[in-house]
Structure 1
């Protein structure tokens, strides 16, 4: 009998003339309400074979993402390339990026993401996606129970020179007052440091219930913010050069107690084990529900250029 427990995103391919024109026509015909219903139902949609060009990307994104958001308070290194369109990540090609829901550490997060393949990877470079409810179920009871009260995220954002992102890049401003107003609205605790950097602390839940389906999902980035998630050698090197309160990012349980390394590796590894790879062809577009699905990146060789945009 077939394994009905295997989930994959829905692939949508041309039926007629093909090209971005057909995709735009079909999205207009579908309409925003039905698109939202379909996305919640399928969790992820891959628009493949429409050969979307960079010149037509804005037209497609305008239909997929009704209200494109800036990547304010984002922690991943990205470059802005257009109207709230960014490179998906600039981490070195040889590294795997573990599974995560975009900005799950933040006070508010995008509800959907669109990825666009401008340049096909030379080899590898898939975007893995995982059902976040399945990820939650895959964890040991001990781990789920330990995170019941949430997590405490700690950021140190430098003033332009240091490891990680500066506060100027993170908040897309050079005005301290803009940063303070933004952070005050999120319930975060913050403190400017003598060296011009800022120390930010946020307590957030570890799981979330989807507003439409009610499904409870794993929704935090504890494994990405924990030094153990970087690997033993990198974590040890950082510990040698930086005190804990000057790490670009760190995480504890909500009460400030440390998260065991074995919890971190279990979370990271099981998310990747449960994931389904979306391999890229040039011009492909992937739309995901950012609560129902987490995403990552496989290592790659050669060129690869994936752009991302997000909306509420």
Structure 2
């Protein structure tokens, strides 16, 4: 369906975070209103960071896929992922992170642990949970402003190094992460992106990558807190799990961990401060079945609350960015 050929109707906008858009005509679809919706996105997304489209008919996951793709950038494959996802019907559409319902997922910007990430990300609520299951958001510009300047400077200057060990029943396998079973494909992928990769004698893989702790948006020029240090660090796990993993595989064998870019350890108090700032900036809103949330991935972080009952939220991403080409601190 060519969305640009459909006649738009007026929309109702509700300011806030996220900016909310509703159809003024009951039963109006995302497809029918696309021209007007795209105009709002072009004017508002890089100001507000987050837009919630609520009350529109979406034509299910296929309609969501067409809606996201209609903004003009091919939908991205989920490459070098850190969490389990599955592709669903519709090219470029994936399940949201497949973690158990009782677990929360901390606030994060998608793929901020590497040097390539999507600029835009959409979430479609195909079925809202009976209880919980919200997708909270936070303004990454505000997080950047609230972080202690001395800590912010360390993250700017020293950058971060993410270390991952794949498989062993503890995390995703390298075959899942790199979408291949060929060592040469993995090595080629890593070489092109500045990722150090090492194979042990059992054929298991370890990667190390030094990337940004903060970043500057290429269009708005806003500085944002842009990393997943608080999520990758061992301290994100409960104490019992930390002890089990250290006793079993040691620090070098942890499924994932993060250090300053020079390999020195992150301070526990720094990580506690980061988590406190993120908690203070978190904004929670309820999902309604059929809602679509669109984020500028650099300007807004997202997370997930625990839930009960069936929940189905799918994701699409577009407009890949190479962080090596962005502005860096002086």
Scaled by the length of structure 2, the TM-score of the pair is 0.87
2:46 is the counterpart of 1:40: yes
Alpha-carbon offset, residue 131 of structure 1: 0.5
Deviations 1:181-225 (A, max 9, x none): 111111111111212111111011100011111111000000111
Does structure 2 retain, via aligned residues, the 8 Å contact 1:223–1:268?
yes
**Number of the residue aligned with 1:106:** 114
**Number of the residue aligned with 2:131:** 123
Partner Cα separation in structure 1 for residue 54 and residue 137 of structure 2: 16
SS in structure 2 at match of 1:278: coil
Partner Cα separation in structure 1 for residue 37 and residue 74 of structure 2: 18
**Number of the residue aligned with 2:310:** 303
**Cα separation, partners in 2 of 1:197 and 1:7, compared to 1, 3 Å:** farther
The gaps in structure 2 that reach 5 residues or longer are 1-14, 320-330
Describe how 1:2-13 pairs up with structure 2 within 5 A.
Answer: 8-13=17-22
Describe how 1:49-128 pairs up with structure 2 within 5 A.
Answer: 49-52=55-58, 53-64=60-71, 66-82=73-89, 83-128=91-136
Does structure 2 retain, via aligned residues, the 8 Å contact 1:112–1:310?
yes
Question: Number of paired residues?
Answer: 302
Describe how 1:157-306 pairs up with structure 2 within 5 A.
Answer: 157-158=166-167, 161-306=168-313
Deviations 1:122-177 (A, max 9, x none): 1111111100011112222332233232111111123xx42110111101112222
Alpha-carbon offset, residue 261 of structure 1: 1.7
2:160 is the counterpart of 1:154: no
Does structure 1 retain, via aligned residues, the 8 Å contact 2:129–2:309?
yes
Does structure 2 retain, via aligned residues, the 8 Å contact 1:229–1:265?
no
The gaps in structure 1 that reach 5 residues or longer are 1-5
Does structure 2 retain, via aligned residues, the 8 Å contact 1:13–1:50?
yes
Alpha-carbon offset, residue 60 of structure 1: 1.6
Partner Cα separation in structure 2 for residue 24 and residue 189 of structure 1: 44
**Number of the residue aligned with 2:33:** 26
**Number of the residue aligned with 2:6:** none
Partner Cα separation in structure 2 for residue 226 and residue 104 of structure 1: 14
Alpha-carbon offset, residue 269 of structure 1: 2.9
Tell which deviates more after alignment, 35-44 or 118-127.
35-44
Alpha-carbon offset, residue 65 of structure 1: 6.3
Deviations 1:79-111 (A, max 9, x none): 111312111111122222111110011121000
Alpha-carbon offset, residue 7 of structure 1: 5.2
**Number of the residue aligned with 2:24:** 15
Scaled by the length of structure 1, the TM-score of the pair is 0.91
SS in structure 1 at match of 2:284: strand
Partner Cα separation in structure 1 for residue 233 and residue 138 of structure 2: 20
Does structure 2 retain, via aligned residues, the 8 Å contact 1:49–1:283?
yes
Does structure 1 retain, via aligned residues, the 8 Å contact 2:115–2:212?
no
SS in structure 2 at match of 1:111: strand
Deviations 1:20-74 (A, max 9, x none): 3xx212223455x763442112211101011422342222222246211011001
